[in-house]
Amino acid sequence: MDIRLDAIIKKYKRDKREFTVLDNINVTLPQGKFTVISGDSGVGKSTLLNIVAGLSKPTEGKVYYGEKEITSLGDEELAELRTDFMGVMTQNCELIPYLTLIENLKLAYDISGKSEKNKNSSSNNNSSSDGNGKEPLAEELASFSAELLDALGLSQLRNEYPSSLSSGEIKRAAIARTLITKPDLIIMDEPTANLDRKNVRAVLQLLKRFSTQGSTVIISSHEQEAIAEADFKYELEHTT
Ligand SMILES: Nc1ncnc2c1ncn2[C@@H]1O[C@H](COP(=O)(O)OP(=O)(O)OP(=O)(O)O)[C@@H](O)[C@H]1O
Ligand SMILES: [Mg+2]
């Protein structure tokens, strides 16, 4: 389903004065496409993505996922929506410090709605399964996490803790963690920032692959290479 932003306005307050960051944004972000939201630093890209992801409410206006209006949903309903079919990575992506990289991926998978659905279907297929950790679910997770880590050049680091990773490695690990559930809707704030050319390309290729396989991918970036790869581009400009 398409994502439609209808007359979105976002105002913030600073020093008791209100200012408008997003001023009447009307745009449809197409389903199954790779959308890049660009614009200068401070223009409102993160603000917009957080509103699209339901992490923050607009001052005015509505966000629709298909026919469903999500701006008026409560926290619980939004959380359910997120675990069921979204993968969201905010700009200050953080891993859980006391888990290794691979454990971070596994946890994201375990708490997702996808994991619950797979568990139900695998227990239907195999009634003798009693949670010994060797079910098809675990195998699928293992093979897909290996594939993701390989695509992002992180295979050697799978058993490392975040404290021993570089910031670029943490960013790529956070990308892998977001993708491990194969979300239908992927929203990532600056996934290619502070990465070298090779890794920028690897991340873009991976995100393009998800979109060609049917996921709706929405990222922010001011990277020319990312903008060039976009199926749909949306540039934010400063309000006057
Ligand atoms: N919670 C907040 N309260 C007040 N002002 C905010 C808040 N969050 C963001 N702003 C301001 O709103 C503007 C837009 O911020 P935002 O983070 O959306 O920009 P951005 O385009 O993502 O920038 P960057 O490229 O640097 O990440 C900035 O001027 C910022 O200082
Ligand atoms: Mg930002």
**pLDDT value, residue 130:** 46
SS (H, E, C) 113-171: HHHHHHHHHHHHHCCCCCCCCCCHHHHHHHHHHHHHHHHCCCHHHCCCCHHHCCHHHHH
Q: Which residues contact 215 (CB under 8 A, 6 or more apart)?
A: 32, 182, 183, 184, 185, 186
193: exposed, middle or buried (Cβ count in 10 Å: 0-12, 13-18, 19+): middle
Q: What is the residue with the minimal CA distance to atom 10 of ligand 1?
A: 12
- How much of the chain is in helix, strand and coil states, percent to nearest 5? 40, 25, 35
**pLDDT value, residue 135:** 55
**pLDDT value, residue 18:** 94
Cα 47 to averaged position of ligand 2 atoms, centre (Å): 7
**pLDDT value, residue 93:** 81
Ligand nearest to the CA of 222: 1
Q: What is the residue with the minimal CA distance to atom 9 of ligand 1?
A: 47
Q: What is the residue with the minimal CA distance to atom 2 of ligand 1?
A: 12
* Low-confidence residues of the chain: pLDDT under 70: 113-137
Q: Residue 153 and residue 168: Cα distance in Å, rounded? A: 11
Ligand nearest to the CA of 10: 1
Q: What is the residue with the minimal CA distance to atom 25 of ligand 1?
A: 41
Q: Residue 159 and residue 115: Cα distance in Å, rounded? A: 22
Q: What is the residue with the minimal CA distance to atom 1 of ligand 1?
A: 12
Asked if 8 and 70 count as a contact pair (C-beta separation under 8 A), the reply is no
Cα 126 to averaged position of ligand 2 atoms, centre (Å): 46
Q: Residue 225 and residue 204: Cα distance in Å, rounded? A: 9
Cα 20 to averaged position of ligand 2 atoms, centre (Å): 16
Average pLDDT of the residues of the chain: 90
Q: What domains are there in the chain, each with its CATH number?
A: 3-235 (3.40.50.300)
Ligand nearest to the CA of 239: 1
Q: Is residue 46 in contact with ligand 1, taking CB distance under 6 Å?
A: yes
122-170 pLDDT tens trace = 444 444 444 444 456 678 888 999 999 999 999 999 999 999 999 999 9
Q: Is residue 158 in contact with ligand 1, taking CB distance under 6 Å?
A: no
